[in-house]
């Protein structure tokens, strides 16, 4: 799937979500930021991006090993 198709699908879903929120959702505002139209959509998107970025960083920093990890990593022992 090309990036243009992904962006178009994301745009259509986002637009539909905002329209549905405007027309059908009864606002029960507990905090002032919940009054913004599309807040949940934006908050969820930012949260998903943050999870992906943090997990990629943690994977590279703590989980991923060098290519020669199983070879001993040091060539001076041969």
Q: What is the pLDDT of residue 54?
A: 95
Q: What is the pLDDT of residue 28?
A: 80
pLDDT over 60 at 77, yes or no: no
* pLDDT tens column, 14-46: 999 999 988 887 778 888 888 888 888 899 999
pLDDT over 80 at 50, yes or no: yes
> 57 — phi, psi (to 5°)?
-65, -45
The percent of residues above 90 in pLDDT, for the chain, comes to 37
Is the pTM higher than 0.85? The answer reads no
Q: How many residues belong to the chain?
A: 78
73 closest CA partner among 61, 65, 59: 65
């Amino acid at each position: 799937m090309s990036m243009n198709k992904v962006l178009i699908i994301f745009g259509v879903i986002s637009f539909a979500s905002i329209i549905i929120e405007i027309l059908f959702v009864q606002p029960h505002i507990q905090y002032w930021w919940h009054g913004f139209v599309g807040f949940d959509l934006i908050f969820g998107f930012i949260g998903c991006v943050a999870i992906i970025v943090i997990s990629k960083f943690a994977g590279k920093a703590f989980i991923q090993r060098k290519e020669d990890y199983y070879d001993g990593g040091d060539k001076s022992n041969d």
